[in-house]
Structure 1
Amino acid sequence: MLTDAYARRFSYLRLSVTEICNFRCSYCLPDGNDCDSRAGELTLSEIKRLVTAFAKLGTRKVRITGGEPSLRKDLTEIIATCKAIPGIEKVALTTNGYRLKRDALAWQQAGLDAVNVSVDSLDADTFHLVTGQDKLADILDGITHAKAIGIKQVKINTVLLKQHNALALPDFLKFVQQQAIALRFIELMRTGDNAGFYQRQHLSGASIQQQLLAQGWQLNTKANTDGPALEYSHPAYQGQIGLIMPYSKDFCADCNRLRVSSKGQLYLCLFTDSHQDLRRLLQSDNSAPLMHFLQQAVQGKAFSHQLAADYSGSTRHLAQIGG
Structure 2
Amino acid sequence: MQSTSNILQDGYGREFHYLRLSVTDVCNFKCNYCLPDGYQKAEGSDCHSALSLDEIRKIVHAFAKLGTKKVRITGGEPSLRKDLADIIAVCKNTPGIESVALTTNGYKLPQKIESWIAAGLDRLNVSIDSLDPRMFKTITGHDRLNEILQGIEIAQQCGLKKIKINAVLLRQFNHQEFSSYLQWLKDKDFTLRFIELMQTGDNKQFFQDNHVSGECIKEQLLTQGWTRIIRSQSAGPAQEFQHSDYQGRIGLIMPYSKDFCKSCNRLRISSQGKLHLCLFGELGLPLRHLCDANDTEQLQQQIRTYVAQKEVSHYLHQGNSGLTRHLAMLGG
TM-score (norm 1): 0.99
Q: Deviations over 1:181-222 (max 9, x none)?
A: 110000000111111111111111112111111110010111
Match of 1:119 in 2: 128
Question: What does 1:254-293 align with in structure 2 at a 5 Å threshold?
Answer: 254-293=263-302
1:57 equivalent among 43, 66, 74: 66
Q: Secondary structure at the match of 2:175?
A: coil
Residue 103 of structure 1 deviates from its aligned partner by 0.6
What is the RMSD of the two structures over their aligned residues, measured on CA atoms?
0.8
Unaligned runs of at least 5 residues, structure 2: 1-6
1:238 aligns to what? 247
Aligned counterpart, 2:4: none
Hey, what's the Cα distance between the residues in 2 that align with 1:166 and 1:223?
A: 29
**Counterpart selection for 1:30 from 36, 50, 61:** 36
Larger mean CA deviation between 37-46 and 293-302 belongs to: 37-46
Corresponding position of 1:12: 18
State the shift of 1:145 in Å. 1.2
The residue aligned with 2:214 is 205
Deviation at 1:128, TM superposition (A): 0.3
**SS where residue 70 of structure 1 aligns?**
helix
Aligned to 2:167: 158
**Unaligned residue ranges in structure 1 (runs of 5+):** none
The residue correspondences of 1:127-206 to structure 2 (distance < 5 A) are 127-206=136-215
Aligned to 1:44: 53
Please point out which of 72, 84, 107 is paired with 2:93.
84
CA distance in structure 2 between the partners assigned to 1:152 and 1:120 by the alignment:
21
Amino acid in the other structure paired with 1:146: A
SS at the partner of 2:28? coil
Q: State the partner residue of 1:3.
A: 9
What letter is aligned with 2:33? Y
Structure 1 position 152, deviation (Å): 2.6
Q: C-alpha offsets along residues 280-304 of structure 1, whole Å, 9 cap, x if unaligned? A: 1111221100110011111110000
Q: Which moved more, 1:142-151 or 1:89-98?
A: 142-151
In the aligned structure 1, how far is the partner of 2:36 from the partner of 2:247? 35
2: CA distance, partners of 1:147 / 1:196 = 39
Partner of 1:168, secondary structure, is: helix
Using structure 2 for the length normalisation, give the TM-score: 0.96
Q: Secondary structure at the match of 1:29?
A: coil
Q: Secondary structure at the match of 1:294?
A: helix
* In 2, Cα distance between equivalents of 1:35 and 1:133: 20
Partners of 1:17 and 1:275 in 2: CA distance: 15
212, 224, 228: which one pairs with 1:219? 228
Return the alpha-carbon distance in structure 1 between the equivalents of residues 260 and 140 of structure 2: 28
**Cα drift, residue 35 of structure 1:** 2.1
Q: CA deviation at 1:274?
A: 1.4
> What letter is aligned with 1:55?
A
Letter in 2 for 1:218: T
CA distance in 1, matches of 2:78, 2:296: 25
Alpha-carbon shift at residue 275 of structure 1 (Å): 1.6
Distance of 2:159 and 2:32 partners within structure 1: 32
Residue 147 of structure 1 deviates from its aligned partner by 1.4
Give me the whole-angstrom Cα distance separating, in 1, the residues matched to 2:124 and 2:106.
Answer: 9
Equivalent residue for 1:253? 262
Q: What displacement does 1:253 show?
A: 0.2
Percent identical pairs in the alignment equals 54
The Cα offsets for residues 67-108 of structure 1, whole Å up to 9 and x where unpaired, read as 000000000000000000000000000000011111111000
Q: Distance in 2 between matches of 1:38 and 1:30?
A: 19
**Which aligned runs of 4 or more in structure 1 are off by greater than 6 angstroms?**
none
* Cα shift at 1:38: 2.7
Paired residue type of 1:247: Y
Deviates more, 1:37-46 or 1:122-131: 37-46
